Amino acid sequence: MEGEIVGKYDITLKDMFSDLTDDILSYFLGIEHSKTEELNIEFPKVEIRESDMVFKCSTNEGNTIAVHIEFQSDNDDKMPYRMLRYAVEIMEKYGLIPYQVVVYIGENNLNMANGVEFDFGKENFLKYRYKIIDVGEIKFSEITQTNYYELFTLLPLMDKERRKKEKELYLKECVEMIKKIPLEQEKKRELAAKAKILAELVYEEEIIEKMFAEVMKMLNLEKSATFRRLIEEGRKEGKKEGEKEGRLAVAKELLKRGMNIDEIVEITKLPKEEVKKLLN
């Protein structure tokens, strides 16, 4: 079962945390950059997996590099060899120097090498290194005093010693901190959902549901309150400018906030085709 859980997270992290890479680059690595494109690196003949995230980036110093970030939820003694293969593939396929990072989010103590090295003299040697970030060693206060809000999704896995001592009280504080983030409710709900999934690595399901239930309920209620306000405003606008125009204004705003078309049709009573046109 544990292996299945680990595999689940390694597979889904790429989709869950593509937005996290900018904060990792800026906060942990100190790289001022702009991402230009995502690169695809895989080894179908060697192993059935893709690298988590590889981005072509332009730094403020004018250099173009490939930033490669791997999320790892267990200790893997083969990690250095895998990272080395990725480094060689990046250089061969794209002609870029790779900056490589492993973000370790496991519950067990970090026990992985961060490179490969041998020396048979000046004409036969290798000294290869990459950076490992152990999330469990990062202090809660270190992150919560910043505005790198994507990193708040990792709070349930941080501050390992404090987390083990305070247990569910620590998780409760994580949830409260996410609730206070000065962002739109939709974004806070997204961050809370990601934090909840990651909390499964270190907390029992019952505790997670208990701690996150209140904040998810609050965010959903606030979402509902926002939609009700928008509908009421739309009705007022409808009286001023015509009922249809008011409903269209509501539909536009709801689309911006991520509501699906069927829900909008139900709320605004607009024809589905009319709502679809607003996407163009």
- State pLDDT tens for residues 211-266: 888 776 666 645 555 555 655 665 565 555 456 777 787 777 777 666 667 767 77
pTM exceeds 0.85 for this model: no
Domain residue spans of the chain: 1-137, 139-241
- Alpha carbons 137 and 161: distance in angstroms, whole number: 8
- Alpha carbons 165 and 139: distance in angstroms, whole number: 14
* Mean per-residue pLDDT, 158-166: 95
**Helix residue ranges per DSSP H, 200-271:** 205-241, 243-256, 261-268
Question: What per-residue confidence (pLDDT) applies to 10?
Answer: 47
Per-residue buried b or exposed e for 133-163, using 16+ beta carbons within 10 Å of the residue's own CB: bbbbebebeebbeeebbbbbbbbbbbbbeeb
Classify strands 131-134 and 98-104 as parallel, antiparallel or unpaired. parallel
Look at the chain and count its residues: 280
Instruction: Report the Cα 25 to chain-centroid distance in Å.
Output: 13
- Alpha carbons 87 and 54: distance in angstroms, whole number: 10
- State pLDDT tens for residues 170-208: 999 999 999 889 988 778 888 888 888 889 889 998 899
- Alpha carbons 280 and 271: distance in angstroms, whole number: 16
Is residue 263 within 8 Å of residue 230, measured between CB atoms?
A: no
Q: Which amino acid is at 20?
A: L
Percent of the chain at pLDDT above 70? Answer: 74
